[in-house]
Chain A
Amino acid sequence: MENVLEVKNLKISFQTFFGEVEAVRGITFSVGKKETLAIVGESGCGKSVTANGIMQLLPMPPAFFKGGEIFFNGENLLKKSEKQMQGIRGNKISMVFQDPMTSLNPTMKIGYQIVEGLMKHNKMSREEARNKSIEMLELVAVPQPEKRINQYPHEFSGGMRQRVMIALAMVCNPQLLIADEPTTALDVTVQAQILELMKGLKEKLGMSIIIITHDLGIVADVSDRVAVMYAGQIVEVGLTDEIFSSTKHPYTRKLLASVPRLDMNKNETLHSIDGTPPDLYVPPKGCSFYDRCTEAMKICKDNMPGFYEHSSTHQSRCWLNHPMAQKANSQEGRKGQ
């Protein structure tokens, strides 16, 4: 499959008063044509920084790219000037943010906010752009688009605002849509509407999607492939089925066990993950999950595990996959024993 986006060993840090925070510590992934990649992780694991990094929307300073490359259609985005990036942002790659209330301008009519992108990128006249915007609002199922286009964001409900955000992101027909927690601020019934809408649009317009979320239910619903992030690294990546049914990394396993499921027996205990993620001012030398892992071994403390291939699409970063590890498991060498 041809890849739209390839991220290679990307490192992003923030320079702060207390020192350097290594928010993203060398991640590599790709997104194929018409593919939906989900990036899952807890808050602070670097998933939003990755997304904003691809769009180059991070405030610099304090943020800076410490290393790595981002290829979009074979071109390295990190080599582009700000002017060139403006031609890509919103046009070839666009983004839907988490909070539709704060990401729309409250002092501008929503029509103008959609038209703006079209006039800039596609050199359309105001009239053409307006017609296209109405068409777009119709596509995302906003009722009475001719009337709604002249209203302000506060006149829309949360779900409708998120639809407007999606219309805004889709209007220039981007090849890649990055959705950063697009439904977190919404109710479940509205969330279901928005997810259906995104799936439908992907089919219709044939774009690729990166969806960032912490909700494993959403991942199971919309994604083709999943990357699990923890403390600035990708710890496991694979097809959605592989991640859910043949989980290889202890963190992914624990994450799956810590959410209650509607079909689960009530007497089962919920497995919690003790402790909190590591401090990225001083990132751990070894495996970043070491402190919270119940299967940790001696080697995990000081040595960073590499990626192990389980299939051509499924990899995980854990010492347990090392051929020697099974021996270690059966004998001594476990933490705390």
Chain B
Amino acid sequence: MTEPLISARNIKKYFDVKGGKLKAVDGISFDIYPQETFGLVGESGCGKSTAGRTIVRLYEPTEGELIFNGQNIYNLTPKEMQEVRRNFQMIFQDPYASLNPRMTVEDIVAEPLDIHQTYKNRAERSDRVIELLRLVGLNDEHAMRFPHEFSGGQRQRVGIARSLALNPKFIVCDEPISALDVSIQAQVVNLLKELQDELGLTYMFIAHDLSMVRYISDRVGVMYLGHMMELAESDELYSNPLHPYTKALLSAIPIPDPEIQKNRKRIMLEGDVPSPIDPKEGCRFVDRCHYAIGRCRQETPVFEEKSANHFAACHII
């Protein structure tokens, strides 16, 4: 197989809160290969957004390494970091909050260009902006408008245009479609797929909508309370889930077909996700797991390869 574009090794991110340490991401490792889409799923509070932000170093990691182009980017100085950061971009969840309402679309999209001084004169700058707007399916005249003049789907297109401004290699999409309506979601997902084919992009796609993640991703990782529970090719993960949590999660998704829905057996989970503040030793899922044994409470299961390219962290598999 080809060399990974990005290798995350044992990344941890803790936040200091009242009453202890909130372990949002607690030692996750994975590789992302060039031009693939790596999906990251989990319930709210499992640390998937923190993981995405730590990877582009919007958050300083507590521990761990991120290898890109043979160097650990967590060791770079701010100046070196700025150079490398051209390659990493991010698309945010809320298209209402992530665009500055007082800037025109042209200035929003050109901001990365301004910061990195990639143009010689104003004409070059606006040419690039228009090129980007066309790429994401907006019109030239949209450049002079303000964000409030756009619908949610169009705003998300502006966010995508901005993320493409510096020809990045890797884009973290943090729930890019969850604030959009169903019919608009498909538009944005199709756009992301087209851009990937055209520009050879690599995505990390963070979402809680498991059917959408399956559709867009080549490989999928499942997170629970700061730990990676399972990671596999997406077809493999969805057809042959190993971890009890993944099984329960998949069975909870409603399928839009009354026939199938009637004959399905659901694995009901009891209770809610526990608090990530100073979690106990042992498997994070133990309190909600139907198969938990004594060992699950004492030692944290190792995240290891259970079958070819199928990783999971569980004692009973």
Footprint of B on A, CB under 8 Å?
A: 42-43, 157-160, 187-193, 195-196, 214-221, 240-241, 244-245, 254-256, 258-264, 266, 269-274, 276
A306 to chain B, nearest CB (A): 25
State whether the Cβ of B211 lies closer than 8 Å to any Cβ in chain A. yes
Establish whether residues A262 and B253, one from each chain, have CB atoms under 8 Å apart when the complex forms. yes
B274 to chain A, nearest CB (A): 10
State A12–B269 Cα separation when bound (angstroms): 41
CB neighbours of B289 from chain A (8 A): none
* Chain B residues within 8 Å of chain A by Cβ, number: 41
Establish whether residues A262 and B250, one from each chain, have CB atoms under 8 Å apart when the complex forms. yes
Q: Which of B186, B255, B258, B273 touches A272 (beta carbons < 8 Å)?
A: B186
CB neighbours of A262 from chain B (8 A): 210-211, 214, 238, 250, 253, 255
Establish whether residues A196 and B210, one from each chain, have CB atoms under 8 Å apart when the complex forms. no
| Interface set, chain B 261-295, CB cutoff 8 A to A | 261, 266, 268-269, 272-273
Q: Which residue of B lies closest to A192 (CB)?
A: B252
Known: A241-B258, A266-B214. A217 touches B253 (CB 8 A): yes
CB neighbours of B259 from chain A (8 A): 241, 244-245
B195 to chain A, nearest CB (A): 15
Q: Most chain-B Cβ atoms within 10 A of its Cβ — which of A188, A217, A276? A: A188
Q: Which residue of A lies closest to B275 (CB)?
A: A157
Establish whether residues A42 and B182, one from each chain, have CB atoms under 8 Å apart when the complex forms. yes
CB neighbours of A42 from chain B (8 A): 181-183
Establish whether residues B211 and A258, one from each chain, have CB atoms under 8 Å apart when the complex forms. no
Q: What are 8 contact pairs spanning A and B, CB under 8 A?
A: A42-B182, A187-B44, A189-B43, A214-B181, A241-B259, A269-B190, A272-B186, A272-B189
Known: A220-B256, A259-B256, A261-B211. A270 touches B250 (CB 8 A): no
Known: A254-B183, A261-B211, A266-B214. A272 touches B190 (CB 8 A): yes
Establish whether residues B268 and A260, one from each chain, have CB atoms under 8 Å apart when the complex forms. no
State whether the Cβ of B114 lies closer than 8 Å to any Cβ in chain A. no
CB neighbours of B261 from chain A (8 A): 217, 220-221
Establish whether residues B190 and A270, one from each chain, have CB atoms under 8 Å apart when the complex forms. yes
CB neighbours of B269 from chain A (8 A): 189, 192-193
B117 to chain A, nearest CB (A): 37
State whether the Cβ of B215 lies closer than 8 Å to any Cβ in chain A. yes
Establish whether residues A263 and B185, one from each chain, have CB atoms under 8 Å apart when the complex forms. no
Q: Which of B183, B211, B251, B260 touches A260 (beta carbons < 8 Å)?
A: B211
CB neighbours of A43 from chain B (8 A): 181
State A245–B214 Cα separation when bound (angstroms): 24
CB neighbours of B183 from chain A (8 A): 42, 254-255, 258, 272-273
Establish whether residues A258 and B182, one from each chain, have CB atoms under 8 Å apart when the complex forms. yes
Establish whether residues B260 and A263, one from each chain, have CB atoms under 8 Å apart when the complex forms. yes
Establish whether residues A270 and B211, one from each chain, have CB atoms under 8 Å apart when the complex forms. no
Interface string of B163-196 (1 = CB under 8 A from A): 0000000000000000001111111011000000
Establish whether residues A260 and B215, one from each chain, have CB atoms under 8 Å apart when the complex forms. yes
CB neighbours of B43 from chain A (8 A): 187-190
CB neighbours of B185 from chain A (8 A): 258
State whether the Cβ of B63 lies closer than 8 Å to any Cβ in chain A. no
A230 to chain B, nearest CB (A): 10
State A264–B269 Cα separation when bound (angstroms): 25
State whether the Cβ of B31 lies closer than 8 Å to any Cβ in chain A. no
Q: Which residue of A lies closest to B189 (CB)?
A: A270
A231 to chain B, nearest CB (A): 12
A209 to chain B, nearest CB (A): 16
CB neighbours of B268 from chain A (8 A): 192-193, 196
Establish whether residues B151 and A276, one from each chain, have CB atoms under 8 Å apart when the complex forms. yes
Establish whether residues A220 and B266, one from each chain, have CB atoms under 8 Å apart when the complex forms. no
Q: Which residue of B lies closest to A292 (CB)?
A: B183
A280 to chain B, nearest CB (A): 14
State A157–B269 Cα separation when bound (angstroms): 15
CB neighbours of A254 from chain B (8 A): 183
Establish whether residues A214 and B182, one from each chain, have CB atoms under 8 Å apart when the complex forms. yes
CB neighbours of B248 from chain A (8 A): 189
Q: Which residue of B lies closest to A44 (CB)?
A: B181
Q: Which of B186, B251, B253, B272 touches A273 (beta carbons < 8 Å)?
A: B186
State whether the Cβ of B67 lies closer than 8 Å to any Cβ in chain A. no
Q: Most chain-B Cβ atoms within 10 A of its Cβ — which of A160, A263, A271? A: A263
CB neighbours of A266 from chain B (8 A): 214-215, 234-235
State A264–B256 Cα separation when bound (angstroms): 11
Q: Which residue of A lies closest to B270 (CB)?
A: A193
CB neighbours of B210 from chain A (8 A): 188, 262
B55 to chain A, nearest CB (A): 23
B270 to chain A, nearest CB (A): 8
Known pairs A187-B208, A272-B187 / 6 extra A-B pairs, C-beta < 8 Å: A187-B273, A216-B182, A217-B254, A221-B254, A244-B257, A263-B260
The 8 closest A-B pairs by CB, nearest first: A217-B254, A272-B186, A260-B215, A216-B256, A273-B183, A187-B43, A192-B252, A272-B187
State whether the Cβ of B249 lies closer than 8 Å to any Cβ in chain A. yes
A319 to chain B, nearest CB (A): 21
State whether the Cβ of B226 lies closer than 8 Å to any Cβ in chain A. no
A224 to chain B, nearest CB (A): 10
B19 to chain A, nearest CB (A): 15
State A269–B268 Cα separation when bound (angstroms): 32
Establish whether residues B186 and A261, one from each chain, have CB atoms under 8 Å apart when the complex forms. no
Known: A255-B182, A264-B215, A266-B235. A220 touches B252 (CB 8 A): no
Known: A187-B43, A188-B210, A189-B248. A220 touches B254 (CB 8 A): yes
Q: Which of B153, B187, B253 touches A188 (beta carbons < 8 Å)?
A: B253
State whether the Cβ of B73 lies closer than 8 Å to any Cβ in chain A. no
CB neighbours of A187 from chain B (8 A): 43-44, 208, 273
State A255–B256 Cα separation when bound (angstroms): 11
State A255–B253 Cα separation when bound (angstroms): 18
Q: Which residue of B lies closest to A156 (CB)?
A: B272
State A56–B252 Cα separation when bound (angstroms): 34
CB neighbours of B235 from chain A (8 A): 266
